[in-house]
Amino acid sequence: MGYTVMAESKGALDWAEVHRAVMPLRRRVELFPIPGEGGMGDALGLSVAQKNVNDLGWEEITQMADVLGKKFGMEVIDLPSGTRLGPDTLEAVMKRFLEEAPSEE
């Protein structure tokens, strides 16, 4: 199991440029491209394995969301809740994310 968010663009992405922008940030997050079809924009899935659902995993997601939003105009959506990440929602989404952290039993 893992925790997944999705970054959506309004149009086609230069996947090589996206890769160059986010790879230096990526240690705990797995990425998977979602090519748009039928006039839909491209998207990028960001998945955090259960073992990496922690403060460091969340920090990585927020750093990547910042780059994807600023550089590519993408909106990042928390898939479990359908909430768009933004200044007003970050704390609530972070709380949900951290609730999924594995227990330390």
Q: Say if 28 falls within a structural domain.
A: yes
Q: Say if 24 falls within a structural domain.
A: yes
pLDDT for residue 65: 95
Q: Say if 74 falls within a structural domain.
A: yes
Question: Residue type for 10, please?
Answer: K
Per-residue pLDDT of the chain (105 residues; tens, 9 = 90+): 689 999 999 999 999 999 999 999 989 999 999 999 877 899 999 999 999 999 999 999 999 999 999 999 999 999 999 999 999 999 999 999 999 888 765
Domain housing 72: 14-80+89-99
Domain count, the chain: 1
- Spatial contact of 33 and 4, defined as CB atoms under 8 Å apart: no
- Model pTM? 0.88
